Amino acid sequence: MDLSDLSADIARLLGRLRDRLVARGGLAGIYLYGSLATGDFSPARSDIDVVVMVTGELDRAAVGELRELHAALAGSDDPAGRLHCLYVPGQAAADPARLHPYWYGDRMTQWQLKVMTRAELAPDGPAAGVLAA
């Protein structure tokens, strides 16, 4: 999926997210999943579900940087309050029990890369790469 396939406000938000993550370094890829990837997205009720694959482990300082990045995005006109962004080191993606940093609307918490999400991210699944670095 290309950003031009999305509504202007979501494309703008995801473009800014991508640009800031590229500038930060350590990005392996950004993937949409859920309703945006399957075509069931409703601007009135759907979340913007994203998995960010990173090349290394995220320590406390890195998670703090990501929190600041998301807080800055939330100050924009875009639908940033609906952005749910899970940060997963590539080598840890196969562990369904592991918790990862997770930006959920307006706060950083932790969440698992669920089995369904992993299936969506599989090479033949419906997830769409916004950026595959």
Domain ranges of the chain: 3-132
Average pLDDT over residues 22-47: 88
User: What is the layout of strands, in order, in the sheet containing 107-112?
Assistant: 107-112, 99-104, 83-89, 48-54, 27-33, 128-132
Of all residues in the chain, what percent carry a pLDDT higher than 70?
A: 83
* Max intra-chain CA distance, the chain: 36
Q: In which band, very low, low, confident or very high, does the pLDDT at 133 lie, cut at 50, 70 and 90?
A: very low
pLDDT in tens, 78-109: 688 889 999 999 888 888 889 999 999 889 99
Q: Cβ–Cβ contacts within 10 Å for residue 53, how many?
A: 22
pLDDT at site 93:
84
Question: Is 3 a residue whose pLDDT tops 80?
Answer: no
Q: How large is the C-alpha radius of gyration of the chain? A: 14
How far apart CA 9 and CA 64 sit, in angstroms, is 26
Strand 99-104 vs strand 83-89: parallel, antiparallel, or unpaired? antiparallel
pLDDT at site 35:
86
Q: Which residues of 56-74 are buried (b: 16+ CB within 10 A; e: fewer)?
A: eebeeebbeebeebbeebb
pLDDT at site 98:
93
Q: What CATH number is given for 3-132 in this structure? A: 3.30.460
Q: In which band, very low, low, confident or very high, does the pLDDT at 54 lie, cut at 50, 70 and 90?
A: very high
Question: Is 122 a residue whose pLDDT tops 80?
Answer: no
Strand 99-104 vs strand 128-132: parallel, antiparallel, or unpaired? unpaired
